[in-house]
Amino acid sequence: MPTASQTPPNGLTYASSGIDLDRYDGFVGSLGALIRRTRTPRVIDNPGGFGGLFRLDYNEKLFARNYKEPVLVACADGIGTKIRIAQAAGRFDTIGIDCVAMNVNDLIVEGAEPLFFLDILSVPHVDDAIMRPLMAGVARGCEIAGCALLGGETAEMGDLYAEGDFDLNGFALGVVELHRAMSRRETSPGDVILGLESSGVHSNGFTLIRAILKEAKLDLAKRYPDLKREGEDEAPTLGDELLVPTRIYAESIVRLQRAYRVKKVVTAMAHVTGGGLADNLARTLTPDVDAVLSAKAWPVPPIFGFLQERGKVELDEMRRVFNMGIGYVVVVRPAFADAVTQRLTRLGERVHRIGELRKGTGKVQYKG
């Protein structure tokens, strides 16, 4: 902000105060192509509008099925301090995907089909080097999730944020048929717990990760040999490994649900975020069952052992903070466990039978 001696001769302006509206308008206007890539038939053109328009009524020429008793499902979330890793690594092309994933993965837990997504990007001022790859990531996440990027807000906050700082949050809306809503969970003893592999750390636990980086004096640009995954020629840099975007499970889960429109095959689902596998799975259980997990039923990606060793973190704490390789859980009737596994595998998921439900009181325990 200019001092009194720097006051422009013709008086103060918004630009001289730190907010350049021409630069802002140019950036926002350039996002049209990204937004159009995510457009679905339900989006209604609204040039110059103050809000995005999206139709919910049924038109059989456009939509595959009618919702007779539609229930709207809404989620809001951000990516937390993973932003600091992106800043330190100077890489911003993946965290937009994270923001979409954190929202739509929560939506589909309730049985919903994602409809549209809105982002809120808060910055000190428009910086193309940061914001263009970031918004390209948001659009890419919406494409993967099959939802429209209906709009959002880019807020120039001037000196509220330090130079180079920003915050990214999102909001998603979905729809589910009332009788299919997963709020009506019906878990029973004998149900099988299927775990879908994560792509890595996803978007939780980064305050602990940053503490480990500092304590162990780790370099984001370095390739540590023990980060090498099976089948890879070389290890990624630590920064690239930590910035692998959160996997979006929307297409697989929506298509799975559509395959069983009559039978109640899926009895509960969970998105594994903060709190780890146990806490998030416990949220989905009815109070008459326990979940028993086999700790050796899936491969744990190298990044988790790397962080545990460098930070000297206890195993229970690792399990409480991180997904440990399982990013999403589907609980199914035992007679359908193999069929659901095969279907999800064909849809591109890596699926493991990680446990089962037994009579209990709604708790989760590990064995092995």
251 plus 149 within the same structural domain: no
210 part of a folded domain: no
Beta strands in 124-224 (DSSP E): 148-156, 167-177, 192-197
CATH code assigned at 327: 3.90.650.10
Query: 274 lies in a domain?
Result: yes
User: Are 92 and 127 in a shared domain?
Assistant: yes
Residue 62's pLDDT is 47
Question: Are residues 319 and 289 both part of a single domain?
Answer: yes
pLDDT digits (tens, 9 = 90+) for 213-271: 999 999 999 999 999 988 888 999 999 999 999 999 999 999 999 999 878 899 999 99
* 197 and 162 fall within a common domain: no
- Is residue 71 domain-resident? yes
Residue type, 2: P
Q: How many Å is the Cα radius of gyration of the chain?
A: 22
Other CB atoms within a 10 A radius of the CB of residue 125 amount to 17
Same structural domain, 171 and 201: no
Query: 217: phi > 0 → left, psi -120 to 50 → alpha, else beta; which?
Result: left
Judge if 35 and 141 occupy the same domain: yes
Residue 366 phi/psi, 5° resolution?
-100, 145
In 3D, which of 16, 245, 54 has the Cα closest to residue 151?
54
Please indicate, yes or no, whether residues 266 and 136 belong to a single structural domain of this protein.
Answer: no
Same domain? 147 vs 262 = no
Question: What is the tally of structural domains in the chain?
Answer: 2
Q: Are residues 144 and 198 in the same domain?
A: no
**Domain for residue 232, yes or no?**
no
What per-residue confidence (pLDDT) applies to 264?
86
339 and 288 in a single domain? The answer is yes
Nearest CA-CA partner of 158 in 121, 134, 122: 122
Q: Which residues of 36-62 are buried (b: 16+ CB within 10 A; e: fewer)?
A: eebebebbeeeeeeeebebeeeeeeee
Q: How many Å apart are CA 270 and CA 78, to the nearest integer?
A: 18
In a domain, 320, yes or no: yes
Q: Are residues 20 and 94 in the same domain?
A: yes
Inside any domain, residue 34: yes
Is 3 a member of any domain? no
pTM score: 0.87
Clarify whether residues 19 and 116 are in a common domain. yes
Domain assignment of residue 170, given as a range: 13-43+67-178
Q: Is residue 55 in some structural domain?
A: no
d(CA 328, CA 298): 13
Residue 20 three-state SS:
coil
CATH of the domain at 122: 3.30.1330.10
Paired tokens of 54:
């999206």
8 A C-beta contact, residue 152 and residue 34: no
Give every residue of the chain whose pLDDT is below 70, as ranges.
Answer: 1-10, 12-38, 41, 43-44, 46-54, 57-66, 183-184
Residue 172: strand pairing partners: 75, 117
Q: Are strands 70-78 and 113-123 parallel, antiparallel or unpaired?
A: unpaired
Distance between CA atoms of residues 160 and 19, nearest Å: 12
Question: Residue 312 corresponds to which tokens in the numbers above?
Answer: 């000297």
